[in-house]
Amino acid sequence: MKFLRNFLETIEPKMAGNKYLHTIYDGFATFLFAPNSTTSEGVHIRDGIDLKRTMVTVVMALQLCLLFGMFNIGHQHYTAYGLYPGLGEAIFTKLAYGFLQLLPIIIVAHVVGLGIEFFFAAKKGHPIEEGFLVTGMLIPLIVPPDIPLWMLAIAVAFAVIIGKEAFGGTGMNIVNVALTARVFLFFAYPTEISGDTCWVAYDYNILHNIFGMGAATLQELGQTVVPDGGMKKLLVDSFSGATPLALAAKGGWSAVADQFTLQSLFVGDIPGSVGETSKIAVIIGALMLIVTGIASWRIMLSMIVGAAFMGFFINMFGGYLSTEVFGFATANPFFAVPWYYHLIMGSFLFAMAFMATDPVTAAQTMQGKLIYGFLIGCVGIIVRVLNPAFPEGWMLAILFMNVFAPLIDHWVYSKNIKRRLARANG
């Protein structure tokens, strides 16, 4: 540690001359060591933790999701070709494949996002704001594993510039930046991020080319050359790549149960976005956030209640309403999926733990958080079940409620003011 500090001190004067270089220097130096500058005016300390440590705690809580996500990319890739179908087989090969698939995504998200962040910080003469540490970690976890990198770069640039910098940078944004990137991808390039074929990485990546593992894989498949039409020709027949939600939308819970066991839904060896498949990893991350006090348990709890309530309501009345009241010929099979399965399908838990609880875009008041979470739960299930164009609803539900969060807070404030005025006057 000593030499690192000495190194920083020696290069400091060189960096001080240029505003762009100094911004970068300052960002890294305060990231590595706690700055020794103190507030010159009045201080309002509620907790000794600063924004960088807060962000790093969230990043740590995400690591298990990331690790399992890497493994699962490899697992899905090999399973698609009928190789190593057991969860415990060839763990390191799968991890290596997933790592090499995910690394470029992580690098692109960080280089583009941090680059823009550094540029705006230098331009405005601010120190670098830390918000992107978490966003940069979240974005790779919420995209499909083989998303084209240039699309990712455009989406990240859009999210950081329009979603954040236009509003004034970290802490000022109205909508969640990571979800803004995803929603951009979803509407700009829908074929790459929806449907049944995008959730599994089918292609060879650098691993196969450098280490010759492609040849070994082909031998195991009984092939010597990749056929015309690429690797997808070699897929085993039983593999569809459909996510549980896509299956549920077509055939209800029985279609999901045909393909996946409850255990695999929970452990997460299923196709899906990189980080959300493993419910165990997400729950451990969520507990870390609750224990450290970074994320609000109120939002998480009320979101579960909201989703359960709306799921239950649709179980009870969905079929009746759609056939008797609105006059559709048959009820959507999704209506009959029991409400408790909604909680472990798709990205509900991931969105709850890491997206809805974003301290900047969520409601700030205690009551406001309860209302905010509950409404996200309701809206998310409505989008997921009722709208066939969107198999999953949390991205849209959270962005929607992000916009309403200030309104909810305003209502809570003015209710409180009215109550106290009445008490004072009465």
Partner 1 sequence: MSDTTTAVVEKASEPLFSSKNRKLVVDPLDDNNPITVQVLGICSALAVTTQVEPALVMSLCVVAVMAVSNLTVSLIRNIMPGRIRMIIQLLVIATLVTVVDQLLKAFVYDLSKELSVFIGLIITNCIVMGRLEAFAMANKPWPSFLDGIGNGLGYGAILILVAAIRELFGFGTLLGWKLLTPDTAIGGFLADIGYVNNGIMTTSAAAMFIIGVLIWIQRGRNTKLVDIS
Q: How far is CA 106 from CA 73, 114, 205, 268, in A?
A: 14, 12, 15, 21
Q: What's the rounded Cα separation, in Å, for the pair 52 and 94? A: 33
Q: Are 108 and 152 in contact (CB under 8 A)?
A: yes
Site size toward partner 1 (CB under 8 A) is 11
Residues 59-78, mask of contacts with partner 1 (x by CB under 8 A): --------------------
Q: How far is the CB of 374 from partner 1 (least distance, A)?
A: 28
Question: From the list 184, 350, 372, 394, which residue makes contact with partner 1 (rule: CB under 8 A)?
Answer: 184
- Please give the structure tokens belonging to residue 116: 């823009």
Q: Residue 189 or residue 390: which is nearer to partner 1 going by CB?
A: 189
Per CB under 8 A, contacts with partner 1 among 76-95 are: none
CA distances in angstroms from 270 to 201, 253, 354, 370, 388, listed in the order given: 12, 16, 20, 32, 21
Q: Which of 150, 146, 274 is nearest to 204 (CA)?
A: 146
- Name the minimum Å distance from CB 236 to partner 1: 26
User: Considering beta carbons, is residue 86 or 190 the nearer one to partner 1?
Assistant: 190
Q: How far is the CB of 182 from partner 1 (least distance, A)?
A: 13
User: Of 118, 119, 189, 312, which one interacts with partner 1 (CB under 8 A)?
Assistant: 189
Stretch that binds partner 1, among 181-189, 201-209, 250-258, 303-311 (CB under 8 A): 181-189
Q: What is the DSSP letter of 324?
A: I
Residue closer to partner 1 by CB (options 10, 191) is 191
Which residue, 39 or 191, has its beta carbon nearer to partner 1? 191
CA–CA separation, 397 and 223 (whole Å): 46
Tokens of 30: 């305060």
* Backbone φ and ψ of 176, nearest 5°: -60, 125
Which CB sits closer to partner 1, 180 or 347? 180
Rule CB under 8 A: is residue 188 a binding residue for partner 1? yes
- Residue 127 token pair: 């120190």
Place of tokens 């505003």: 19
Binding part of the chain for partner 1, among 91-99, 137-145, 182-190, 220-228 by CB under 8 A, reads 182-190
Cα 369 to Cα 106, 120, 237, 254, 334, distances in angstroms: 31, 31, 47, 35, 29
Nearer to partner 1, 162 or 294 (CB): 162
Environment class of 127 (CB within 10 Å of its CB; exposed 0-12, middle 13-18, buried 19+): middle
Site for partner 1 contains 190 (CB under 8 A): yes
CB of 162 to partner 1, least distance (A): 6
Output 97 or 186, the one with its CB closest to partner 1.
186
For residue 119, state whether it binds partner 1 (rule: CB under 8 A): no
In the bound complex, what is the minimum distance in angstroms from residue 148's beta carbon to partner 1? 5
Q: What is the DSSP string of 344-363?
A: TSTTHHHIIIIITT-TTTS-
Question: Please, what is the minimum distance in Å from the beta carbon of residue 82 to partner 1?
Answer: 28
Q: Which helix (H) or strand (E) holds 59?
A: helix 51-80
| Nearer to partner 1 (CB atom), residue 184 or residue 354 | 184
Q: How far is the CB of 187 from partner 1 (least distance, A)?
A: 5
Q: What is the largest CA-CA distance in the chain?
A: 88
Q: In the window 131-170, what residues touch partner 1 (CB under 8 A)?
A: 148, 150, 154, 162, 166
Selected from 3, 10, 41, 187, the binder of partner 1 by CB under 8 A is 187
Decide whether 158 or 339 has the Cβ nearer to partner 1: 158
Among the residue ranges 84-92, 108-116, 180-188, 331-339, the one whose residues contact partner 1 (CB under 8 A) = 180-188
3-class DSSP assignment, residue 126: coil
- Closer to partner 1 by Cβ: residue 55 or 159: 159
CA distances from 110 to 66, 122, 134, 184, 315 (A): 15, 17, 10, 17, 42
Q: How far is the CB of 151 from partner 1 (least distance, A)?
A: 8
What φ, ψ does residue 356 adopt, rounded to 5°?
Answer: -65, -30
CB of 190 to partner 1, least distance (A): 6
- Please give the residue ranges that form the binding site for partner 1 (CB under 8 A): 148, 150, 154, 162, 166, 184, 187-191
